[in-house]
Structure 1
Amino acid sequence: MRDAAGGPRVLLKKLRELMAEPLEPQERLDRIVRDIASNMVAEVCSLYVLRADSVLELYATQGLNPSAVHLAQLQVGQGLVGTIAASARPLNLSDAQKHPAFTYLPETGEEIYHSFLGAPVLRAGRTLGVLVVQNRTMRTYREDEVEALETTAMVIAEMIAAGGLTRLTRPGLELDLSKPVSIGGLSFNEGVGLGHVVLHEPRIVVTNLFNEDSEKELARLESALGSLRLSIDDMLSRRDVAFEGEHRAVLEAYRMFANDRGWVRRLEEAINNGLTAEAAVEKVQSDMRARMLHMTDPYLRERMSDFDDLGNRLLRQLMGRAPDDIAAALPKDSIIVARSMGAAELLDYPREKLRGLILEDGAATSHVVIVARAMGIAAVGQVKGAVSMAENGDPIIVDGDEGTMHLRPQQDVELAYAEKVRFRARRQQLYRELRDKPTATKDGVKIDLLMNAGLLVDLPQLVESGAGGIGLYRTELQFMVASTFPRAEAQERLYKDVLDAARGKPVTFRTIDIGGDKVLPYFKGVQQEENPALGWRAIRLTLDRPGLLKTQIRALLKAAGGRELKVMLPMVTELGEIAQAREIIDKEVRHLSRFAHMLPNTMKVGAMVEVPSLLWQLDELMSAVDFVSVGSNDLFQFVMATDRGNSTLANRFDPLSVPFLRTLKQIADAGKRNNTPVTLCGELAGKPISAMALMGLGYRSISMSPAAIGPVKAMMLELPLGQLETFMQENLSGKSATLPMRALLQAFADDRKIPL
């Protein structure tokens, strides 16, 4: 019997020599399976490789019928080999033919073999094939033999990934690694992007696989682990944990994992079997990724994802690499693929090179998605497996309209999307030609089309879109992309830049709206809430922490010196909150006057209508403020009792339903009755059909994303508003109100050739 400790090391040494020889691909594979069989004292060693059509094809064998090579095949899930490919786990059987999954392939001549050991060929958690050894005698393979086969499988995986088998593939039977993949997710931002994959955390390619000195590699591992643990402790000791983009809970988990003896022991075993320290990390990491893909518990999947990130950090320590400069050497048509990422990380990428964003996780309201919308790039989320399926540089399409990703698309798919992009470009050109036309309906009624903003990257779009001003400036985005609270000077500088960029056009600044789904990792004191959307957020939070509001108001007053300042209060529930906020504003005005600071020429204070309680205080509200803005996103979810972040309910209720349209009309009518300007800012304003409905309800000012202004303006220029108002009045009252308004509005537009 062979020496248990020396076997894997001897085998890896032989494989290293084989890799260095100038051999044809088939000859190299034949030699590999022969050496494995010899080393493991096995009568059979076979390699099955996964094709793009989910078939496992026999690519090489020692012991089975050689004429079965490239002919014998199994589906994923079929037989013992297919079972290993489907589960990504090894199978160790003393009598394979008694296993319920056993499938007999007559062409192989394997019926005389009983014992069976198979290991998945894994790379980055993906199964690329299956490596098998068999013996006639009934025996259970030892643990070190299982480890040896898994280690060898990893080496073969790197060879497959490097294109070592390309010349053996037949036309139409390409390997799984290069097959086209389409995965559905959720649309986070409309648009279509064609380009090439840029992995947000690029997979580190391990090229040095075999070690010459295990003791030296163990020492390297221990040193790298020590540095990793110190770096995690250092991040945890800082006051601004979020500086590295990690939340404290994640870092605590990292610290626990970095000290986990089970993980370290598996790394040490791989090194003792002949791998370098970095190859050991890659092997253990790949094994764990494969298991993660088959977990259904979201908490466990998240913890395994933490492990994956920790492995990447350890690899960087071992290979002496600083985190990659993500802005360098990017293709000009980059599509970022990430498990998740922070808003600030997306802003690190040069906007001119970005075509899209694909996330495995995330929600439509997450910070990074808000930034993606501001940057005007197509974004898709909840695309499971995107990171492990993709390689840097792979061709890819992100369809933000449908919420899908097409990785390595076939030519006809790529051509169809290229035409779609050209069509969108032609349409955008038409919208640009409308930019300088007056914003009035076909029958001459003026409508203000404003844009929503929140970041400096938004500001150039004020001119490009032809917007009449900024109807909603989300000041909290500055807080969300920072690692600590922005100082008063930084806030003042930003607000001044915004007003300068507006060139005299009106800008409405919403005071900081954090809490709920907008969590600042560095803000201490926010408790976990069962219903965060209904909890301690927006004006509720800033009135309880008046220092936040005072600092912001002072920065706004100083930035707007000599100009008009419009400030809007979010999430107002009762009029007493407006009175409290006005008191803070008045104090800041008096303070700055005392020190002779230049103040705004005029100042207007408004409130957002997004809490239903204001619907029973509308006349009093209109008297208490200078203007009103309707936050249609939150108002809709509160009126309809539907969580807008819940994908199950996403399409259950229609914002163009009669009850909600009546609610919106009630607000518009109160504004007209009290001579108080009313604007609506939210998703409703950005769709031509719903913008048309708003105009029919009496709204003369709406604010939307910059990209939506062109389509809405094209609709408006063809809209006979008088006819629409009569039409809506009839259909929102009496028996007609039982009919679906969306379909009625579409028919109204179709009859009059209004572009929607």
Structure 2
Amino acid sequence: MRGAYGGPRVLLRRLREVMAEPVTAQEKLDRIVILIAANMVAEVCSSYVLRVDGELELYATEGLNPGAVHQTTLARGEGLVGLVAQQAEPLNLSDAQAHPSYSYKPETGEEIYHSFLGVPILRAGNTLGVLVVQNKAHRTYSEEEVEALQTTAMVMAEMIASGELSAIARPGAEPAVQRPLHAQGVPLAEGIGLGYAVLHEPRSLATENLIAEDVNVEVQRLDDAVAKLRHSLDELLEQGDVARQGEHREVLEAFRMFAHDRGWVRRMREAVLQGLTAEAAVERVQSDTRARMMRATEPFMRERLHDLDDLANRLLRVLTGREHGPNVQDMPENAILVARNMAPAALLDYERARLRGLIIEEAGPTSHVIIIARALGIATAGQVPNIASLIESGDPVIVDGNTGDVHVRPPEDVQLSYVDKVRLRARRQALFQEHRDEPAVTRDGETVKLMLNAGLMVDMPSLAETGANGIGLFRTELQFMVSPTLPRAGEQESLYGTVLDLADGKPVTFRTLDIGGDKVLPYLRTVDEENPALGWRAIRFGLDRPGILRSQVRALARASAGRDLRMMFPMIATVSEFDEARGLVEKELTHLRKWGHQLPERMLLGAMVEVPSILFELDELLERVDFISVGSNDLIQFMFAADRGNPRVADRFDPLGPAMLRAFKQIIDKAQAAGKPVTVCGEMASRATGAVALLGMGFRSLSVAASSVGPLKAMIRSNTIADMQDVAARLLAGDPDGSAHEDLLRMAQTAEF
């Protein structure tokens, strides 16, 4: 090879020139293989592309019989080319014909060539094709030559991914990267979204940004970015409680170890020295790593893939200057957001008006990010393995939040089918709108209050649009999550006052600040915990930081001057916690009286029942509170010790099984005996099946997502409480013959006014 690094650089520059020429895709491919062969002093260079049917088709060659182009095909795993595609690793042989996987294709005329070097054409770890060079002489290609061909293959991957080759493909034999893809996930938030993919962690780069103008500049950019990344991780490990020893520390140390791995940095520097930009080098190395680790059988290796993905994405954000959130200007008007995982605050960084759907790999139905998506009315599906690697930015995508189906690059008939579904859904919503002012009354005359879950100003119009009876849960933490700094008392008071004004006399129940777990405030120092869901969060945070809680109470009281204030504390585990929180409220009211501020006309204090321990102090709690709300999401996850954000266990237990329903039954029976109002919030209340069981047990107030109000009202008006009570009784008894679940589904699907 001519010059360890001069050859690849020259080749990349010439490839960029070829790809910019106004010629057909086939002409580009033909010129590219000629360039590669000349640069590497190879007598053969061939490009194979993986098709939608799983076959590898010869698309271009220099040195083999030109008549074999578009005629020679190999199955994945067949021959040496198929082996490279299957294993996603380079294959370097001095005597190809002696290899047991060698497959003779007489039409190519390759039998006279002995040495063989094949590299996979990879993108995000997925194989798009194979690039091959061959020589007549028996030789083993050098490590530099292997690296050069891999670098060139990355440029080829961009060309294949762009869709250019579809124009020269036979129908039914298009490149696999452009094939329609249907994936089945889990429905997480209702609705149907049609639009174009936006990757939450963008990995793709424009072709012109792959090839370096000045290699020395790119090396320096890479070194500076790596140093900045390492420094940020070092700072993280020095923060407060993170610095102490423990399992969490070991995890972060392992993560930092990856960032300091010399081999990782060396591979990226070598890719830059061959002519790639710093960004392209990061992507190239991570794509190779992902390809190997995706095929690993050891669970440990596959789990580490997420760490390495995150590390590469952090480095890319440093290099591209996008360390502080997404670039909204890059979003289409109808965006489908695609993410492996996402914090709730990250979703709020995106402009709601442009979001049509969300596809997220690692989230359960009650994850906080899904609660936010549901509140915003974003159709969401999740738990689709590797979907973020299978979708390209800009791909047309359909996400069905009702069934969990995800369609990538859908064919025309699928698109038309979903357009019809969207129209049908719009007509159904129009029907709900038409009946929004009708009460939720069962056929035997029992009235049910349907309240809204809210937390953002964007939620407030839904109160009038749905005809809901009020807001049963206003999540005050969302204001804190969207703000770049801790909201001052005046800012909080303004929001709460506006919410009460827009509610126009309907009741609003404010939940005090519930942060912690996966709801992290960027401007407050976080505490790394081994199990944050069971850690320092919600009322525990408020009682330990009384200044923040008192400031919020003051803002709520002043905003409610002359009006009713309904306020409840989250995650109460013992009666003593409620007593302490109530004491802070009384101190704040005393302070306001002293300074002559007008107080709320009536103050109603409540507690969230979501920690199992409070079930054993429920009688004492009910003596103290004005009302309670059941947080079904947390109560279910704590009762079953199943992390709701972990897809492996989120659906492991049945919330409609007798164990969980008996807990709900205990709550409603004790609340009714004490004469205290009780509302159920969360996922269980929002689903018709859960609502049937809850109403059958005696609950008469549900606080749900805006999209659930219409369907639930239709279900309630279509059934009788007597039938619901019968179903609930059989579910509580364990439903031995399965008939109760059948009746439950039938009643839940009955929705006619």
1:423 aligns with 2:421: no
Distance 1:323 1:581 in 2: 36
1:301 aligns with 2:305: yes
Q: Is the 1:228–1:313 Cα contact (8 Å) retained in structure 2? A: no
Q: Which runs of structure 2 are paired with 1:408-557 in the superposition (5 Å)?
A: 408-520=409-521, 522-524=523-525, 526-530=527-531, 532-557=532-557
1:372 aligns to what?
Answer: 373
The one-letter code sitting in structure 2 at the alignment partner of 1:146 is V
2:403 aligns to what?
Answer: 402
Deviations 1:587-638 (A, max 9, x none): 1111111111111110011122223333344433322211122222233334
The one-letter code sitting in structure 2 at the alignment partner of 1:708 is S
Q: Is the 1:253–1:306 Cα contact (8 Å) retained in structure 2? A: no
1:741 aligns with 2:745: no
Deviations 1:309-355 (A, max 9, x none): 145335526xxx99897333643322112344443443343323221
Deviations 1:78-112 (A, max 9, x none): 22212222333211112223334333323323333
The one-letter code sitting in structure 2 at the alignment partner of 1:93 is L
Give 1:408 deviation, angstroms. 0.1
2:574 aligns to what?
Answer: 574
Distance 1:620 1:20 in 2: 76
Q: Is the 1:236–1:248 Cα contact (8 Å) retained in structure 2? A: no
Distance 1:11 1:239 in 2: 43
Give 1:748 deviation, angstroms. 6.2
The 1:745–1:290 alpha-carbon spacing in structure 2 relative to 1, beyond 3 Å, is closer
Percent identity (aligned): 54
Q: Is the 1:363–1:381 Cα contact (8 Å) retained in structure 2? A: yes
Give 1:485 deviation, angstroms. 3.6
Give 1:193 deviation, angstroms. 0.9
Distance 2:618 2:22 in 1: 82
Distance 1:370 1:101 in 2: 52
Q: Is the 1:543–1:581 Cα contact (8 Å) retained in structure 2? A: yes
Give 1:308 deviation, angstroms. 2.7
2:173 aligns to what?
Answer: 173
The 1:250–1:506 alpha-carbon spacing in structure 2 relative to 1, beyond 3 Å, is farther
Distance 1:117 1:99 in 2: 13
TM-score normalised to the size of structure 1? 0.88
1:157 aligns to what?
Answer: 157
2:215 aligns to what?
Answer: 217
SS at match of 2:111: coil
Give 1:569 deviation, angstroms. 2.1
SS at match of 1:514: coil
Q: Name structure 1 gaps, 5 residues minimum.
A: 242-246
Mean CA deviation greater in 30-39 or 58-67:
30-39
The one-letter code sitting in structure 2 at the alignment partner of 1:94 is S
The 1:370–1:4 alpha-carbon spacing in structure 2 relative to 1, beyond 3 Å, is same
The 1:324–1:638 alpha-carbon spacing in structure 2 relative to 1, beyond 3 Å, is closer
The 1:621–1:332 alpha-carbon spacing in structure 2 relative to 1, beyond 3 Å, is same
Runs (4+) of structure 1 moved beyond 6 Å? 234-241, 247-259, 321-325, 732-738
The one-letter code sitting in structure 1 at the alignment partner of 2:741 is R
Q: Is the 1:126–1:290 Cα contact (8 Å) retained in structure 2? A: yes
Distance 1:656 1:233 in 2: 49
Mean CA deviation greater in 422-431 or 90-99:
90-99
2:60 aligns to what?
Answer: 60
Deviations 1:412-446 (A, max 9, x none): 22222222222221111111111111232223322
1:381 aligns to what?
Answer: 382
Root-mean-square deviation (CA, aligned residues, Å) is 3.5
SS at match of 1:141: coil
Distance 1:733 1:350 in 2: 44
2:102 aligns to what?
Answer: 102
1:312 aligns to what?
Answer: 316
Give 1:18 deviation, angstroms. 4.4
Q: Which runs of structure 2 are paired with 1:309-388 in the superposition (5 Å)?
A: 309-313=313-317, 315-316=319-320, 326-328=327-329, 330-388=331-389
Q: How many residues align?
A: 742
Distance 1:357 1:687 in 2: 20
2:90 aligns to what?
Answer: 90
The one-letter code sitting in structure 2 at the alignment partner of 1:628 is I
Distance 1:439 1:680 in 2: 16
Q: Is the 1:182–1:406 Cα contact (8 Å) retained in structure 2? A: yes
Q: Name structure 2 gaps, 5 residues minimum.
A: 240-247
Distance 1:445 1:121 in 2: 65
Distance 1:575 1:325 in 2: 43
Deviations 1:661-705 (A, max 9, x none): 333233222222222112122222212233233222222211111
1:591 aligns to what?
Answer: 591
SS at match of 1:593: helix
Distance 1:163 1:525 in 2: 44
1:619 aligns to what?
Answer: 619
Q: Is the 1:695–1:721 Cα contact (8 Å) retained in structure 2? A: yes
SS at match of 1:405: strand
2:720 aligns to what?
Answer: 720
SS at match of 1:685: helix
Mean CA deviation greater in 85-94 or 105-114:
105-114
The one-letter code sitting in structure 2 at the alignment partner of 1:439 is A
Give 1:180 deviation, angstroms. 0.8
Q: Is the 1:715–1:755 Cα contact (8 Å) retained in structure 2? A: yes
Q: Is the 2:219–2:272 Cα contact (8 Å) retained in structure 1? A: no
Give 1:356 deviation, angstroms. 0.3
1:670 aligns to what?
Answer: 670
Q: Is the 2:85–2:129 Cα contact (8 Å) retained in structure 1? A: yes
Distance 1:283 1:476 in 2: 40
The one-letter code sitting in structure 1 at the alignment partner of 2:81 is V
1:244 aligns to what?
Answer: none
Distance 2:732 2:236 in 1: 61
Distance 2:735 2:134 in 1: 75
Deviations 1:166-218 (A, max 9, x none): 44212221112211122333332122111122233543313165567xxx431
Mean CA deviation greater in 631-640 or 134-143:
631-640
The 1:402–1:248 alpha-carbon spacing in structure 2 relative to 1, beyond 3 Å, is farther
Q: Is the 2:688–2:715 Cα contact (8 Å) retained in structure 1? A: yes
Give 1:34 deviation, angstroms. 3.4
The one-letter code sitting in structure 1 at the alignment partner of 2:740 is M
TM-score normalised to the size of structure 2? 0.88
Distance 2:277 2:671 in 1: 72
Q: Is the 2:628–2:676 Cα contact (8 Å) retained in structure 1? A: yes
